[in-house]
Structure 1
């Protein structure tokens, strides 16, 4: 039996980019590491403003 997961490569990109930016990294550096042509694409992965709750 195979379980379906909602996690994929983009989940890891979100986690890495968000952690990097929360640690004080620059968006331009995150863009280069993610090999994105535009900072707008990298910004789509930025979840630093999201609120995490137990609800």
Structure 2
């Protein structure tokens, strides 16, 4: 995939307590970083046959 396409790229560590989002903001790449002090990020389940 092309990082200059305007899409967001999401990266999550194995413990699901840290997340990085990479995106093109028009004149350069930007990264958002989030770390949880407690708990984990929750994501919807992907149905079989999708994705």
Q: Same fold by TM-score, threshold 0.5 exceeded? A: no
Coarse TM-score class (shorter-chain normalised): under 0.3
TM-score, with structure 2 as normaliser: 0.27
Structure with more of its chain in helix, by fraction: 1
Structure with more of its chain in strand, by fraction: 2
